Amino acid sequence: MARCFVTRALPGGALERLGAEHEVDVWEERLPPRPEQLRSRVRGVAGLLCLLTDRVDRQLIEAASELRVISNYAVGSDNVDLEAALERGLAVGVTPDVLTEATADLAFALILAAARRLVEADAEVRAGEWLTWESARLLGQDVHGATLGIVGLGRIGSSVARRAAGFEMEVLHTARDGGIDFYELLEASDFVSIHAPLTPQTLGLIGERELRRMKPTAVLVNTARGPIVDTDALARALEQGWIAAAALDVTDPEPLPAEHPLLRAPGLTVLPHIGSATHRARERMAELAVDNLLAGLEGRPLPAPAA
């Protein structure tokens, strides 16, 4: 029986399955453990099940001398120092596929919400500003027949493209094995939806130069990772009308401080990173995260290893 540390309670019964085979310590607080708390809790631990908000850096890995496997409750692994883990011979797992459709649903919901200004409309009703039907009030953008540019045609991007077909949208995309030039996509798209992983190459991919290349009527949607978009440049883009709107499920930093200028920008819809937040998706993520942990502790190949 090995010792495992889980950095937050998870939905469903997956942790009960883990506890039937190993000693499990679960962080019970709502906020994630601070770096020094996390380093303290992983000492003597063989298995770590962590969230995207947990920074598993070289210092932590070196502090966990008995660690054998890291299971990340996320589709990606950008919060884990994979180089340090590889040097230690640690197995690292992620939870792809099981959250694809839920995240694609949310991405398309954000496209619709931003296009039709749903957040603004809801706020007007609640504030008592809806006095009568007006022909030119809260005019938005058509989604049907519009051009959707997908940055990163992987699992989630492909699922968003399938949804776009139902709205008879023209879909452009960038991909390693095809697609169009990135800047051509920005210039031609009515909606730009980001589905690329966070890597050194995609960090700050959308900055002032890119936002200025987009249509002034365009909408930027990001359900991937916050640092792919330059937050300050996006705030300026909305304030100065370089683009019409942005709809975000991820931000940089995350969460945004209450006083951040982006939160005061017009045309912004922002959510608290809920792309995979359905009962089914989050429970399946927990099951796969535990499967990864169990496999690593037994010395077997992980069902879903990090790339």
Comparing CA positions, the residue from 159, 138, 139 lying closest to residue 150 is 159
273 labelled catalytic: yes
Q: Which CATH number fits domain 3-98+279-297: 3.30.230.10, 3.20.20.450, 2.40.30.10, 3.40.50.720?
A: 3.40.50.720
Per-domain residue ranges of the chain: 3-98+279-297, 100-270
Taking only the tens of pLDDT, the chain with its 307 residues reads 999 999 999 999 999 999 999 999 999 999 999 999 999 999 999 999 999 999 999 999 999 999 999 999 999 999 999 999 999 999 999 999 999 999 999 999 999 999 999 999 999 999 999 999 999 999 999 999 999 999 999 999 999 999 999 999 999 999 777 789 999 999 999 999 999 999 999 999 999 999 999 999 999 999 999 999 999 999 999 999 999 999 999 999 999 999 999 999 999 999 999 999 999 999 999 999 999 999 999 999 999 999 8
- Same fold flag, 3-98+279-297 and 100-270: yes
Q: What is the DSSP string of 75-133?
A: S--TTB-HHHHHHHT-EEE---STTHHHHHHHHHHHHHHHHTTHHHHHHHHHTT---S-
pLDDT, position 175? 76
pLDDT, position 307? 80
* Identity at 57, one-letter amino acid code: D
Q: Could you give the CA distance from residue 215 to residue 188 in angstroms, rounded to a whole number?
A: 8
pLDDT, position 268? 98
Backbone angles phi, psi at 295, to 5 degrees: -65, -45
Catalytic residue from among 195, 225, 282, 284: 225
Bond preceding residue 197 cis, omega within 30 of 0: no
Question: How far is residue 65 from each of residues 43, 55, 84, 292, measured CA to CA in Å?
Answer: 7, 17, 13, 20
208 labelled catalytic: no
Catalytic residue from among 254, 260, 283, 287: 254
68 labelled catalytic: no
Q: What secondary structure letter does DSSP report for 206?
A: B
Catalytic residue from among 173, 273, 282, 284: 273
Backbone angles phi, psi at 244, to 5 degrees: -85, -35
CATH superfamily of 100-270: NAD(P)-binding Rossmann-like Domain (3.40.50.720)
